[in-house]
Structure 1
Amino acid sequence: MFARTARATKHLTQTRFAHPSIINQSTRLFAASAISMTKISETIKTDHRDLEGWYQKIINPTSEDEQVRAQNQFVWELARHSLGEELVVYPALEKHVQGGKALADKDREEHQVVKELLKKFQNMKPADTEYMPTIKSLMDNLSQHIKEEESEDLVRLESALDQADSESLTKSFHRTKMFVPTRSHPSAPAKPPFETAVGLMTAPIDHLKDLFRKFPDQKISPNPSMK
């Protein structure tokens, strides 16, 4: 009994004072496991709620510095989310859902409108007279797209997938977001494989420039591999 207690105490001590790299590795493995068990519709909805949250920080900032950081984060999140959908979710719609091609084409058209507005907004400063009108117009379009996507597209897609296929799409979606551009490039193709090729060329430039932008809670840009 004493021996078992001693071994347990030693294990707890080693765990408590484990090297940070071990703790970080465990955290990443846990996060990856959680992602792998999440349906694609839940993943997309989580992104949508994050975007809505950053939008609120843009239009209701406590300071201009917070507003700029929220703006950069919003652009970073939306650019990657949109491309992730176009490269992973919309092809799945076309493949698995009856009438899915029409749905995907409609979504791409709506994305194009948002991309044009995001391109304009991402280069603006809070002092610009069109700053607020632009982000509000962008969000009006995005909100309508989100509503339709969540109530129709994702419902139909999930009904056509089993749990394993949906989870596999989630993993592909997250992997794709690691390598795509982090700014809006509306003139780029909106369908693979050309969209993929352009994205792979553009992404490193965006990632480098992100190093000089301010983001919430940190001085350098977020790591795409962790989002």
Structure 2
Amino acid sequence: MPPISDVVSADHALIKKAFNGLVESDPTRPRDATEFIWTLGRFLIVEDLVVTPALEHHVARGGEAHCRVSDYDSVNAMLRHLQQLDTTEDSFEKQLNIAWDELELHLAPEVVADLERLEESMAWPDADGLGTKYERIRDLLQKPYGKEGVPDAETLAAILQTPRQELMLRIGVFG
């Protein structure tokens, strides 16, 4: 059973790889942003369903709310906007870089600060079980989309627009 910090770090690496692949592709030709948007979107969904509740339960002190850059609704809105842009336009490149700048502030410190504190605050089997739960929910979201695991644009838009509670019901996660 992997610790939660390991599985989240692996997802961070996938997000960075998808971002780099998109940035390094020829900006004068139509580019497919679906892999980056889906990799990040899937991460945000799983983080919202697994990591955020665990942090609120095990780490938050005295009602102190965690300031999380990966707020599900705001980043999801950014992803929906990014998905609708023409990848050959300068506005796409600008929005992509804005999104990445915001994410970079979140990705590295998350493992070092939040997840290490979370693992320290949980008993050993619970901390490893959280990593397994994360992987299980991530895999539920991955399965229907073929070998590469990236949905087509229409399916991706539908997933990103589905309200959190409805999405939880659809994938069989009830809290």
> Into which bin does the TM-score normalised by the smaller protein fall?
0.7 to 0.9
Distance 2:87 2:115 in 1: 35
Asked whether the equivalents of residues 115 and 185 of structure 1 are also in contact (C-alpha less than 8 Å), the reply is yes
Identical counterparts, % of pairs:
23
Asked whether the equivalents of residues 114 and 142 of structure 1 are also in contact (C-alpha less than 8 Å), the reply is no
The partner residue of 1:58 within 22, 43, 54 is 22
Per-residue CA deviation, residues 156-187 of structure 1 (Å, 9 max, x unaligned), is 10111233212211121122221498556368
The partner residue of 2:74 within 113, 116, 128 is 113
Q: Which residue number corresponds to residue 169 of structure 1?
A: 130
Asked whether the equivalents of residues 93 and 101 of structure 1 are also in contact (C-alpha less than 8 Å), the reply is no
Q: Which amino acid aligns with 1:47?
A: D
Residues 1:73 and 2:35 aligned together: yes
Unmatched 5+ stretches in structure 1: 1-36, 189-194, 204-227
Residues 1:123 and 2:84 aligned together: yes
Unmatched 5+ stretches in structure 2: 143-154
Secondary structure in 1 matching 2:90: coil
Q: Which residue number corresponds to residue 160 of structure 2?
A: 185
Q: Give the Å deviation of 1:121.
A: 0.8
Distance 1:96 1:134 in 2: 35
Q: Which has the higher contact order (CA 8 A, sep 6+)?
A: 2
Asked whether the equivalents of residues 158 and 166 of structure 1 are also in contact (C-alpha less than 8 Å), the reply is yes
Q: Which residue number corresponds to residue 47 of structure 1?
A: 11
Distance 1:187 1:53 in 2: 26
Distance 2:73 2:82 in 1: 14
Asked whether the equivalents of residues 121 and 134 of structure 1 are also in contact (C-alpha less than 8 Å), the reply is yes
Q: Which amino acid aligns with 1:153?
A: D
Q: Which residue number corresponds to residue 145 of structure 1?
A: 106
Per-residue CA deviation, residues 32-76 of structure 1 (Å, 9 max, x unaligned), is xxxxx21101110111111111111111115846x41xx211111
Q: Give the TM-score taking structure 1 as reference length.
A: 0.59
Q: Give the TM-score taking structure 2 as reference length.
A: 0.75
| Aligned CA-pair RMSD | 2.8
Structure with max Cα Rg: 1
Farther off after superposition, 128-137 or 170-179? 170-179
Asked whether the equivalents of residues 18 and 39 of structure 2 are also in contact (C-alpha less than 8 Å), the reply is no
Asked whether the equivalents of residues 2 and 131 of structure 2 are also in contact (C-alpha less than 8 Å), the reply is yes
